[in-house]
A and B are shown apart, each in its own frame.
Chain A
Amino acid sequence: MIINLQREFHKFWQERLPWYGVVGLGLLMGYTAITTTDAQTLMAQGFGIDQWVIIILITVSSQFLAMEYQNHTILNLLYRARHQWQVYFAKALVLISYSGLLLCIGSVFTFLLKPLVIGARDSWFTAAQQSQTLSQAFLLNQVGTLVYSLFVVTLALCLLAIVHVNGVVIGIGLIVGFWGVNISRAIMLASSNLAKVVAWNPLNMINVITQLSEPSGQKISNLTNGQLIGGNLIYTALFLSLGYICFKHRHI
């Protein structure tokens, strides 16, 4: 497994896409800084890190597996691995660590952008809401994004193993990332009697990003923080298992 991980890390960083992801994150955060006026929201949400990291992760995750099929390297990779699951899980681990790295880099960008865009107007120790400081809200949003990135990485790998088309995976990922909350809310409104059950739908899981720092979000998600985190972890395990089964049975 360690050898597989080393191989995957080496390939990952030799490809340009992860580096483009880092540069893209910086540019998109800059775009958010220019187009958003509410300074406290900007700081609490790290200039939109949560939103942009998810989009970057979907694209990079899907491509990281798809390239093995595009380059005909999957066959070599699979037969040289002692067990096929090692290949799939090594990729997932690389991508999860990449999401952690993106969040760290995004945090650095946030701390650099704050004095440039907001100046001294608001401090990191300014009370935001629910007796939280902005720095606490920011940190909780990062934790939420990290939890949701597990969901996103495993979802992207699972979708690619099922539909085999990179573009479709990215498309579905973007729908989940951009409209997931709205679709989920519409479903829950349409089935208000079953709202407690429907709240466990996968599209609702994205609320973990904001709800940890904003307890009022519970009214939207219909789930407690613990339930949301648990739900994300359950879906992660589900996508990982389902994705591996499809990956294993994919004809090469």
Chain B
Amino acid sequence: MLTVQAMTTYIGHKQIIKQGSFEVAAGDIAGLIGPNGAGKTTIMKTILGLMVFTGQIQINHQTVLEQDHHALAKVGALIEHPAIYPFLTGWDNLRLYAQTAANIQTVVTQLAMTTFIRQKAKDYSLGMKQKLGIALALLNQPELVLLDEPMNGLDIEATILVRKIIKQYARDGTTFLISSHILGELQKIMTDVILVNEGRIVLNQPIHKLNQLRQQRCHFVTDDMPTTVKLLQAQKIPIKSVHDGLSIDRGYLFQVQDLLAAHNLHLLALSPYDVSFEQLIVHLLTQGNGAGR
């Protein structure tokens, strides 16, 4: 649905995104993850044809150009701040871009905005503005939605509601590209992960593959830990101290078990060791650019 190939984005002569390539299929929810200044927002702005870039961006096989935004006809976006005119009511803000009044009513009802939609937007709270920004992005049944930090300013109830709506739209075929600092929030909805660091796409994988990476280590405890450590170090098996035991890559599991048995050491505990999502992301970011698809 969204195909980005060898995209290099410039501000002046400086390359902000370097040869970025990734794909998001129809109905997928891709999480755009990376540290501050990695280039997440720039990627979104480039997809919207608002930056100088080389390479190719296609939405439903239509090419996005800086000069021609025809391919963006069915794209909704919330980038950085909700794009709201404070002197208009929420309804009028939506009406500026709505194809029909029914489209406005749909998003207003979905996002539970009925009580305040006729008020001037200047009187809105942060959360109300954010909801209106999301409503603008979801207007007119878009095929692709770009959301930059969509949960900013939302309370728990609204966050759950927005999460539910995103899933519902995705089930109906809308593709999402979402960036968020709240990894836990993204983790609950995304089907794909696009990891960005220093303007490069470090990784583009389905979340289930990433989850496999999280479970690639084992945790174990023996009846003589100091001897075990010395033994494994002598055999050059990479180990990490975890709580009261050690963790190893799953690939070494049988070799370690054989070694322990040969040296009369006994396992007291053996379990899969799940790295948290945050830990995995940090690990992948520090590992660098070698893990692309």
- Residues in A lying within 8 Å of B, measured CB to CB: 7, 10-11, 14-16, 67, 71-84, 251-252
Q: Kindly provide the distance from the CB of A16 to the nearest chain B CB, expressed in whole angstroms.
A: 7
Q: What are the residues of chain A within 8 A of B70 when measuring CB–CB?
A: 82
B108 at the interface (CB under 8 A from A): no
Q: What are the residues of chain B within 8 A of A11 when measuring CB–CB?
A: 85, 88, 96
Extra inter-chain contacts (4) besides given A72-B81, A72-B83, CB under 8 Å = A11-B96, A79-B77, A80-B72, A83-B68
Contact residues of B between 67 and 101, Cβ < 8 Å to A: 67-70, 72, 75, 77, 79-88, 92, 96-97
Chain A residue at minimal CB-CB distance from B81: A72
Known: A79-B72, A79-B77. A14 touches B84 (CB 8 A): no
Cross-chain contact B92 with A71 (CB below 8 angstroms): no
A112 to B82, CA, bound (A): 46
A72 to B133, CA, bound (A): 11
- Which has the most chain B C-beta neighbours within 10 Å: A7, A11, A75, A251? A75
20 A-B residue pairings within 8 Å (CB atoms)? A11-B85, A11-B96, A14-B85, A14-B87, A14-B92, A71-B83, A72-B82, A73-B84, A75-B45, A75-B83, A76-B97, A76-B136, A77-B83, A78-B50, A79-B50, A80-B69, A82-B70, A83-B68, A83-B69, A251-B11
Q: What are the residues of chain B within 8 A of A77 when measuring CB–CB?
A: 83
Known: A75-B45, A75-B48, A79-B49. A14 touches B80 (CB 8 A): no
Cross-chain contact B69 with A16 (CB below 8 angstroms): no
Chain B residue at minimal CB-CB distance from A8: B96
Chain A residue at minimal CB-CB distance from B137: A76
Q: What are the residues of chain B within 8 A of A80 when measuring CB–CB?
A: 69, 72, 97
Point out the residue from A71, A81, A251 that lies within 8 Å of B69, measured CB to CB: A81
Q: Kindly provide the distance from the CB of A84 to the nearest chain B CB, expressed in whole angstroms.
A: 8
A83 to B92, CA, bound (A): 23
Point out the residue from B48, B67, B80 that lies within 8 Å of A72, measured CB to CB: B80
Chain B residue at minimal CB-CB distance from A11: B85
Q: What are the residues of chain A within 8 A of B92 when measuring CB–CB?
A: 10, 14
A55 to B96, CA, bound (A): 29
Q: Kindly provide the distance from the CB of A210 to the nearest chain B CB, expressed in whole angstroms.
A: 37
Q: Kindly provide the distance from the CB of B140 to the nearest chain A CB, expressed in whole angstroms.
A: 10
Q: What are the residues of chain A within 8 A of B136 when measuring CB–CB?
A: 76
Known: A16-B87, A252-B45, A252-B50. A75 touches B79 (CB 8 A): yes
Known: A79-B50, A79-B75. A14 touches B81 (CB 8 A): no
Q: Kindly provide the distance from the CB of B164 to the nearest chain A CB, expressed in whole angstroms.
A: 24
Cross-chain contact B48 with A79 (CB below 8 angstroms): yes
Say which size band chain B's interface belongs to.
20 to 34
Chain A residue at minimal CB-CB distance from B75: A79
Chain A residue at minimal CB-CB distance from B48: A79
Q: Kindly provide the distance from the CB of A107 to the nearest chain B CB, expressed in whole angstroms.
A: 28
Chain A residue at minimal CB-CB distance from B89: A14
Q: What are the residues of chain B within 8 A of A14 when measuring CB–CB?
A: 85, 87-88, 92
Q: What are the residues of chain B within 8 A of A10 when measuring CB–CB?
A: 92, 96
Chain A residue at minimal CB-CB distance from B11: A251
Q: What are the residues of chain A within 8 A of B72 when measuring CB–CB?
A: 79-80
Q: Kindly provide the distance from the CB of A17 to the nearest chain B CB, expressed in whole angstroms.
A: 9
Q: Kindly provide the distance from the CB of B142 to the nearest chain A CB, expressed in whole angstroms.
A: 11
Cross-chain contact B87 with A73 (CB below 8 angstroms): no
Going nearest first, the 7 A-B pairs with the smallest beta carbon separation are A76-B83, A72-B81, A79-B48, A73-B83, A15-B87, A7-B96, A82-B69
Chain A residue at minimal CB-CB distance from B122: A71
A72 to B83, CA, bound (A): 5
Q: What are the residues of chain B within 8 A of A73 when measuring CB–CB?
A: 83-85
A160 to B266, CA, bound (A): 76
Chain B residue at minimal CB-CB distance from A248: B66
> Mask for B86-123, Cβ within 8 A of A = 1, else 0?
11100010001100000000000000000000000000
Q: What are the residues of chain B within 8 A of A71 when measuring CB–CB?
A: 83-86
Chain B residue at minimal CB-CB distance from A81: B69
A81 to B85, CA, bound (A): 17
Q: What are the residues of chain B within 8 A of A16 when measuring CB–CB?
A: 87
Cross-chain contact A82 with B68 (CB below 8 angstroms): yes
Q: Kindly provide the distance from the CB of A169 to the nearest chain B CB, expressed in whole angstroms.
A: 20
Q: What are the residues of chain A within 8 A of B80 when measuring CB–CB?
A: 72, 75
Chain B residue at minimal CB-CB distance from A70: B86
Chain A residue at minimal CB-CB distance from B93: A73
- Which has the most chain A C-beta neighbours within 10 Å: B68, B70, B83, B136? B83
A44 to B88, CA, bound (A): 40
Q: What are the residues of chain A within 8 A of B66 when measuring CB–CB?
A: 84
Q: What are the residues of chain A within 8 A of B82 when measuring CB–CB?
A: 72
Chain A residue at minimal CB-CB distance from B67: A83
Contact residues of B between 232 and 287, Cβ < 8 Å to A: none
A72 to B84, CA, bound (A): 7
Q: Kindly provide the distance from the CB of B91 to the nearest chain A CB, expressed in whole angstroms.
A: 12
Q: What are the residues of chain A within 8 A of B45 when measuring CB–CB?
A: 75, 252
A79 to B80, CA, bound (A): 14
